[in-house]
Chains A and B, each alone.
Chain A
């Protein structure tokens, strides 16, 4: 955090000054470690084992915050007795289909009560086709959706029922002992127990602990389950929805949160509404019901209003109740259309045109060679950036031009490089990592032909519409009927080439009454009858009272520490999500020191330092009437108002492709066997097995460990920014960090003959990259499963362009993805390291292929993904059919 988010880290230092204990868990000693009380070096890719160990410590020693856990989490819910856990199935959960490598989650559901039987069946049915959900990254919708489970599963609030979530969880993590953590993670028992002590002693009524991760955590084949493991621990310790607690994702780009909320993502529409799927969303009501899931609790019950407001914002007057608000105009997805699938499709000649807007995949995406070969096989490419980045010049100076794989005279891709406006040359909002929107004023005009994206896409749309005007082709209706009328300003406005008004777009995002133009005060005002429109329901309120709330800049000296009048946070300016959990079930603060939001008996409403993330007038004593659903079913003790049962999910029966609880799997490329199970890696991970995407071999393959014996990981430098487009071209930053380097421990340097400040190169089955050797004790060899493992670290900021150039580390990674969100595993791989520079020209490919051949992966003959025993696979598949039912008591005896 001190390295990549230094200014945010000042608040960690503030906390330290006030007595907080800081623990840094990271493979490498960094500036953060230097300022922490404890640094815990860990083997890359073993985080679930580490966190699972702490969860086990909490459960075995009954250190959980019991009143919070019973009331605010699903610990008491009873799981179906058809559920079988990984321990009996060699690393698989029940319901596995080895053909599709996905689960049927029927057996993971909560038990059904008689009166709830119908709903329970609906839950299971709604779980749907998981292979399709994997392809469409359906889990991502849960960023705001939560699980759509039934509202009243059977519960045992004594937490003693053998199939209650608490007991299921306790059994699941029982094997994650300090000894096992030491074996898998390479963390000493002493270090580990010190973390356990610090975390648990600093949680409860009087104290809270925050878990901070950077989004390298997501770049694993089990990335979502890493975060789930953190969430389970924080829920058990009562650290969610409370001040000083929580899980903070430190995201890496100025508006990456915004580009997820208002997504430029294939599977989402604004506000986490799903892109309709041809298989299940052929009509407006299919689509709406797929989101609101009738029968569930929570605010998604109003999904009809959110969806119809979006369609009205898109198609304006053309969208009417009679034509289902132009729902038919939305294109339908049918599977995996993610960026990696698309790049492989480019290599295969299936894609004609590609836009790159402020993104440099030639350096920033995994498997750079595939990225560049894909770009070299297009009809046209549009790059919009401040500088002449590698993704614009692949045809003349990429590594593949050196190897002869791209020959400029034979490369047909037509390339347009448009100069873009910088952040000070346009106005608009960024959403930072805590969901806060901040409006930027325009300082100066962009230079020359540089323009904003708002300008580019507005005018591109205008010109396309003008070209198609008069078309009678049905397929052109969505473009011709599009509400695409934004006021233009600036000097060029008179000639029709003006800058569209960002304020007008933000007002459309906020939403307004169609008849009067009155701006909505929040999503509660959105109607499902076409009388209001709004482009992104969770952002509704950003223009409340006709005021641009994101432009508020009241000095921090003139308001509270929560600073509610600086910018605007979604939803409804709530700064801390689920903050009803900061009060006890009766609505009183858990303690005076941790008072944040509470129930005011006299005023009969929720109040406090923040906007309550709860219905203001709903008392803690409110209990839902029999048969209620939606918002009415949220009880006074249900803080997690977007979840289908209002509770924090210790156990997730739905929404995850790879299991209801995180379990340790080895990274796709690992020198170690999975100590816990026969199942080596995530069995449901997304893979693209093809000759241009070889993966380093499974450690069970003979000789594998000799060819690629080391583990490597990557992260950012303080002085550079991701793929380097915003730092390698900037004099000061280029001077501060001029060169690609490779950090190795003294022990590895001795083993491989690497000389400090000399050259070395790192090799995988994809490529070899070179850099200067930095021998440092920041990296230490770890003892894992009884042997020594060396870890290598590299920054990933260089390419052939800019003031300072070098090899691109992301060329080393292959493509394998987390099954829930289709994010690549690019924080861990295996490699070899050798002294000296790498070969150049065609010799580079021969050299890399030599490695792949020796490792036995040249012709993509990687080992199987499913490595659990055949017997376990059969029993897992059978469990859902009820063929292998145990009573809970029998299970206990096993």
Chain B
């Protein structure tokens, strides 16, 4: 490339005049090309993560700038994925930055036809109240054979395969202590 702006900057012309006949080198570069930098270079920090989709466990690098996720890439150091991600893993930046994500608690009252918004701590109070009430209303000290069971059959839960081990640990610990036993996840499905 001559660098001059006065000539027709045809790529084809540049290819032949600059000796880059196949058009795979300098001939196809432009000022814009040179100005482009990867989103990763300006990141304030990189967090080590793991892909949230299937169970292969591909390591991810999460690039953060101004407290926003700007890019997610496979970690080339990982012995699992060697930097590669599949279409889903590659879309995980889109997953976490999507405008469609819920950011407010939504509440549907009995018999209502629409959602309404709820304040987070209010919603927590309401759920805690309902759990305690259902637990009380459905409590069993003994079963129909007179055996000690100490439980509620009124509260069930499903989920865990997408969660962290630490989260599953607290979920099972809390439900067990409150006497809820119908606790299940995708591993049964």
Contacts and interface: CB of A to CB of B under 8 A. Distances in A.
A278 B143 contact: yes
A418 B172 CA distance: 19
A528 interface: no
B88 A424 contact: no
Contacts of A821: 188
Given A262-B172, A266-B184, A428 B167 contact: yes
A506 B174 contact: no
Contact of B55 (A256, A270, A361, A458): A256
Contacts of A331: 149-152, 176, 179-181
Given A270-B172, A414-B108, A351 B182 contact: yes
A467 B129 CA distance: 9
Given A331-B179, A359-B158, A414-B108, A433 B57 contact: yes
B168 interface: yes
A167 interface: no
Interface in A228-265: 250-265
A567 B75 CA distance: 14
Nearest to B84: A7
A594 interface: no
A424 to B, nearest CB: 5
A505 B165 CA distance: 9
Contacts of B98: 386-387, 729-731
18 contacts: A7-B74, A264-B159, A278-B143, A352-B137, A359-B185, A414-B107, A419-B101, A422-B101, A423-B49, A447-B101, A464-B128, A478-B179, A551-B48, A553-B59, A555-B77, A566-B78, A718-B87, A722-B186
A484 B174 CA distance: 9
B159 A355 contact: yes
A870 interface: no
Interface stretch (B3-11, B17-25, B30-38, B60-68): B60-68
Contacts of B106: 388, 392, 415-417
A750 B154 CA distance: 52
B12 interface: no
Given A255-B165, A556-B78, A416 B121 contact: no
B169 A359 contact: no
A344 to B, nearest CB: 12
A535 B176 contact: no
A873 to B, nearest CB: 29
Contacts of A266: 181-184
A263 B171 CA distance: 9
B101 A387 contact: yes
B120 to A, nearest CB: 4
B96 A334 contact: no
Interface in A819-852: 821-824, 826
B75 to A, nearest CB: 8
Contact of A254 (B54, B129, B138, B147): B54
A264 B165 contact: no
A570 to B, nearest CB: 10
Nearest to B87: A719
A886 interface: no
A424 B101 contact: no
A595 interface: no
Given A422-B95, A726-B95, 13 more contacts: A253-B53, A264-B184, A269-B176, A331-B151, A332-B147, A339-B182, A355-B155, A357-B163, A423-B92, A426-B164, A482-B177, A539-B165, A730-B91
A269 to B, nearest CB: 7
B94 A731 contact: yes
B156 A453 contact: no
A279 B107 contact: no
B160 A264 contact: yes
Interface string A318-343: 00000000001111111001110010
A395 interface: yes
Contacts of B121: 497
B58 to A, nearest CB: 5
Contact of B161 (A5, A256, A440, A444): A256
Contact of A259 (B88, B127, B187): B187
A730 B165 CA distance: 25
A693 B181 CA distance: 24
A345 B181 CA distance: 14
Contact of A415 (B96, B108, B132, B148): B108
A463 interface: yes
Given A379-B130, A379-B134, A359 B186 contact: yes
Contact of B168 (A262, A557, A731): A262
Contacts of B147: 278-279, 282, 332, 334
A736 interface: yes
Contact of A350 (B80, B153, B173): B153
Q: Among the interface residues A333, A386, A506, which one has the most CB atoms of the partner chain B within 10 A?
A: A386
A333 B48 CA distance: 40
B161 to A, nearest CB: 4
- Nearest 6 pairs of A and B residues by beta carbon: A432-B57, A448-B103, A428-B164, A357-B159, A264-B160, A331-B151
A314 B48 CA distance: 31
B47 interface: yes
B168 A263 contact: yes
Contact of A440 (B48, B96, B128, B170): B48
B85 interface: yes
A337 B172 CA distance: 15
Contacts of B115: 417
Nearest to B120: A449
Given A263-B172, A502-B164, A448 B82 contact: no
B158 A339 contact: yes
B26 interface: no
Interface in A465-483: 467-468, 475, 478-479, 482
Contacts of A4: 54
Interface stretch (A123-131, A301-309, A405-413, A740-748): A405-413
A193 interface: no
A721 B88 contact: yes
Contact of A263 (B53, B80, B112, B187): B187
Contacts of A332: 143, 147-151
A464 to B, nearest CB: 5
Q: Among the interface residues B75, B96, B154, B177, which one has the most CB atoms of the partner chain A within 10 A?
A: B177
B169 A423 contact: no
A479 B48 contact: no
Contacts of B173: 314, 482, 535
B170 A254 contact: no
B158 A356 contact: yes
Contacts of A5: 54-56
A716 to B, nearest CB: 9
Contacts of B182: 266, 337, 339, 342, 351
A557 B180 CA distance: 48
A358 B162 contact: yes
A731 B87 CA distance: 12
B52 A556 contact: no
B123 to A, nearest CB: 6
Contacts of A718: 86-88
A508 B184 CA distance: 22
Contact of A352 (B55, B77, B96, B138): B138
Interface string A710-737: 0000000011111000110111110010
Contacts of A428: 164-167
B106 to A, nearest CB: 4
A357 B171 contact: yes
